[in-house]
Amino acid sequence: MSNELIVNVTSGETRVAFLEGGVLSELMIERAHEVGIVGNIYQGKVQRVLPGMNAAFVEIGQEKAAFLYATDFSQELKEIGEDLDKDEDEDEGEGEAPAEGGEENLPDELRRYKWGGTKPIHMLLKPAQEILVQVARGPISTKGARITSHISLPGRYLVYMPTWGKIGVSKKVESYEERVRLRQTIRKIRPPQGGFILRTAAETASEEQLHQDVSFLWKLWQEILRRKENVVAPALIQPELDVALRALRDLYGAKIDRVVVDDPEEYEKIKGFIENLMPELLPSLELYPHLEPIFDRFGIESEITRALGRKVWLKSGGYLIVEQTEALTTIDVNTGRFTGKKNLEETILRNNLEAVEEIAYQMKIRNIGGIIILDFIDMEKRSNREKVYSALREALKNDRSKTTITKISEIGLIEMTRKRTRESLKGHLSQDCPYCEAKGYVKSPITVVYDIFRHLRREASSLPDKVLLSVNPSVFNLLLDVERKGLATVEKKIGKRVELKAQDNYHIEQFEVGRA
């Protein structure tokens, strides 16, 4: 089956879903009031140096100062030189800085530097010092952004890293001959500074295509350096692409067969991007023609609702319980209604193996990061525990976020970590519930607003000419203030007049549509 990128635009919010064989694989959401900063490049100003943590706080113009570890500061490596193009395989990273702990691959004369981490932070940075940095992880909950001075500039086929000297090839490029060809080609056309990681999309790319990418990224780096000299820190130097264009760039290697967009303006923007960088994808671009909301038609809306739930049912009748906190996430596996047909051990094994696939899927859709504890149903046989562990490793192979897992214990526990790069789906779409003193969660008022917009468009044909919309006061205030323009846009599209009424006794997610 085909791979599809579905782009849904509501006033103030853009949602991008990637479907692999008709199944939701990734979900990205960006709002006009909450534009993500991961990938942005800033001229930062050191606010405070923390010798005890070997790190520093750096002002980048955000509400909270960003956090910079000494190991993420590239000054020492740049001072030595960058002609390191050994043939070790490197992970693609999809535009991220080199993974921590990669210093064992450095030559002996560089190993002691460990990407600038040998010297204490107070010998590398001083308060008020200006440095060029890139956001590696956005603000999450109470924590500010994490930044690095190992700048990475993703292109269509390559990731250019000005402070890195090696040439890496994505491990997903399996052919040895192709890996050698790609390395030799880049050595011929590389600029005088920096290194490259060849992405999965580079497989079979011609020298001319690679040269175009190298030339574009080198010119972009020179432009960044020029802008850096003409700003006062803290200042944004180079913003990352918006969510739809970023998805196209990063998922290009996944062989996108179809791109469907439901907004004419967004369609034209995406069309221009594709014409410039990936013209062969242009025939696959479509403007969605139907009145039914696009995420409803492709079954994505129901998957989002399912991903916000605490209980997730398995096809066999078993279920998962997902509990997320700021520090860690626990996923508990239960047999539920599944009774099996043979002995107890076989029933438990089948339930655990089915749970493995759903766990890997839910972690991706929910964007769960940090420490994760998986509580499988106890299995007596060591061979069965090995089967579950192997199945989990296999299920996580296609996860673009880095994961590490431990062996399953005798009581059925697996400890694992998953790289956290942005807020989880729950954190993005919900807030602490005021009705249960933060013991649970509800959708945030802005999410309810966008739900209302989609509901009005979905039911447009059956609505009266004048509509009375009754909502919770917090949603009412948003519709009158921040989202007034969005409501006007919806009224124009459905051809109906909408009057608002605040109801003090309404739950924050409750709304009613009737005749005015």
Distance (Å, whole) CA 156 – CA 196: 12
Average the pLDDT over 334-361 and give the result: 84
Hey, which residues does 497 pair with through a beta bridge? 466
pLDDT of residue 501: 93
pLDDT of residue 414: 93
Poorest-confidence range of 50-59, 60-69, 102-111, 254-263? 102-111
Residue 66 has pLDDT above 70, yes or no: yes
DSSP state, residue 401: S
Q: Residue 133: pLDDT above 90?
A: yes
Say if CB 76 and CB 116 are below 8 A apart.
Answer: yes
Going along the chain from its start, the domains and CATH numbers come out as 3-31+243-299 (3.30.420.60), 41-238 (2.40.50.140), 308-418 (3.40.630), 444-515 (3.40.1260.20)
Give the single-character DSSP code of 402: -
| Beta strand pairing call for 311-313 and 130-137 | unpaired
Task: Look at 93-102, 248-257, 413-422, 505-514 and tell me which has the smallest mean pLDDT.
Answer: 93-102
- Check pLDDT > 50 for residue 391: yes
Share of the chain above pLDDT 90, in %: 46
pLDDT bucket at 100, cuts 50 / 70 / 90: very low
Q: Span 20-32, mean pLDDT?
A: 88
Q: Does residue 341 carry a pLDDT above 50?
A: yes
- pLDDT of 164-176, one tens digit each? 888 889 888 888 9
pLDDT of residue 200: 84
What pLDDT does 285 receive? 94
The pTM for the full model equals 0.73
One DSSP character per residue, 182-244 reads HHHHHHHH--SS-EEEE-GGGTT--HHHHHHHHHHHHHHHHHHHHHHTT--SSEEEEPPPPHH
Residue 197 · residue 157 · CB < 8 Å? no
Q: Give the model's pLDDT for residue 494.
A: 92
Residue 346 contacts residue 352 (beta carbons within 8 Å):
no
What pLDDT, on a 0 to 100 scale, did the predictor assign at position 419?
85
Mean pLDDT across 298-317? 90
